[in-house]
Amino acid sequence: METRRPTTPAAEEILGGYFPVLDHGFVALVDYMGNDDSVERAARVSYGYGTRKRSQTRGLVRYLRRHRHTTPSEMVEFKFHCCMPMFVARQWIRHRTASVNEYSGRYSLMPLLFYKPELEHFALQSAANNQGREDAPAPSALYEDAISRWEGIRRAAADGYTWMISEDVAREIARIDLPLSTYTQWYWKIDLHNLLHFLSLRADPHAQLEIRAYADVMAGMVKRVAPLSYEAWVDYDLTGQPFSRVELSALAELVEASETALAVRPGASLSDDALAGMGLSKREIREMKAKLRAPGHPDFELDLATMRTAEDVGREMSEAVPGAFD
């Protein structure tokens, strides 16, 4: 039967397809409700949306995003099926604006799949950021030693879990020593406004690499469901920059704005000392300079060649359950 719901052909193309993330994870768009037209209809509360030109829809969507009118975006919803290491899930769940149903280790057997970072992503603690890693990978000998230790821990945990399950120990008890590298799954339903807020934080280059990998795939899915909202989000939120009062005052010292033109003030310059004199700390000065560099333009295009079926993914998960080959 032909649907009367608003749909997007690019979204229909990936609906129910599973995109791999990390070594054993995935993100699938299970369902969605609405698109860019839904945002416009909610904003205008109009039944005559079909007479609108796409350029008018784009202009309104960008206006709403630019001026932080977010309620219309709450009328579009996404439902995802995601599989991620538990330490990523613990970061993810801090975004308390979604409906979540996680795989239950009390009810079902846990697939014994564990995340192992590649050498290029294995790094020492950052000297400048207490919650991050250095950009350059750690020495390969250290990586091999870490892998050996990880495998020993995981082997022991998996053996203990498998043994307890075979002895009919309650699943809710048998699971308690599985490491944070173990993969879990959930269904995650969220509206477009809150999803874009999640992506602004987790697709940011400063986010942890592992959760950023999931955010990148989900951003590509937003691009297919609501491309105009996606474009406005990239322009105003992801790559746009907010400026403080002091930063704007500093920029006003350099640039004179009139109704007809912007002009650099003759002889104007702002040294670090001048910025410090305005009240900016050394870190704020560094961050202000970073804001003024031309931003990149992320693409987030999905690679359809990597898309898998639910049956293929389900088979892999089933094979990783203890006793699958008994």
Residue 44's CB is within 10 A of a number of other CB atoms, namely: 13
For domain 1-115+181-240+308-326, which CATH number applies: 3.40.190.10, 3.30.1360.170, 2.60.120.640, 3.40.50.1480? 3.30.1360.170
Nearest Cα neighbor of 159 from 173, 141, 136, 178 is 178
pTM attached to this predicted model:
0.92
200: pLDDT strictly greater than 90: yes
216: pLDDT strictly greater than 60: yes
271: pLDDT strictly greater than 70: yes
Active-site residues: which are they?
202
Tokens 């690679």: give the residue: 303
Is residue 15 within 8 A of residue 29, CB to CB? The reply is yes
Mean pLDDT for 18-47 is 93
The model's pLDDT over 2-18, given as tens digits with 9 standing for 90+, comes to 888 899 999 999 999 99
Label residues 279-298 b or e (16+ Cβ within 10 Å = b): ebeeebbeebeeeeeeeeee
Mean pLDDT for 146-169 is 96
- Identify the pLDDT of residue 51: 59
Mean pLDDT for 313-323 is 92
Q: Please, which pLDDT band fits residue 55 given cuts at 50, 70 and 90?
A: confident
Q: Please, which pLDDT band fits residue 295 given cuts at 50, 70 and 90?
A: confident
Share of the chain above pLDDT 70, in %: 97
